[in-house]
Amino acid sequence: MISGQWSVAEMSRLDEAQLLTGDADPAVVRWQAEGEQRPVTGGSPEIWLHLQAEVNLSLCCQRCLGPVASDVAVDCSLRFVSDEASAAEMDADSEDDVLALQRWTDLRELVEDELLLALPLVPRHEVCPEPLPLPDDEIEADEAQPNPFAVLAQLKKKPD
């Protein structure tokens, strides 16, 4: 088993996903990986990688557009096969994540890929610190226009 940590600044795609908050301490990804060969009856052993990673990112709240701290964690097992065609075929037929084994598999890129897939689709606060103010123009425009249902009620009351 190996483990370590990387700065999010070293992972360009993950770094782009977070807001620039001016924090002095950049976010840190903590990870752990362990390889395994599982025996297969009548065949060569399967190669698996168990991967765990976690990071706390500052994302953009989709309600108030302010920064929201989001814990992103991954705990997955990846199966490696000999080539891309086998990976595509097995990935379609299996619930396991299947990847093609390459001579140089970049663990940092793999961790970054898995964390990107684990990002929340709509990051938001449970309760936003401050509601998003409406521009004054929209408030005045809403007050100036009559309620469409009130207009319909008046038309309904008029005799033919």
pLDDT of residue 53: 96
The CA distance from 32 to 149, in Å, is: 61
Q: What is the mean pLDDT of each run of 10 residues along the chain (160 residues)?
A: 91 83 73 90 87 93 88 91 72 71 81 94 89 62 70 75
Domain ranges of the chain: 2-132
pTM: 0.71
pLDDT of residue 30: 96
pLDDT of residue 99: 76
Contact between residue 58 and residue 21 where contact means Cβ atoms under 8 Å apart: yes
9: DSSP letter: G
For the chain, give percent helix, strand, coil, nearest 5.
30, 35, 35
Contact between residue 4 and residue 31 where contact means Cβ atoms under 8 Å apart: yes
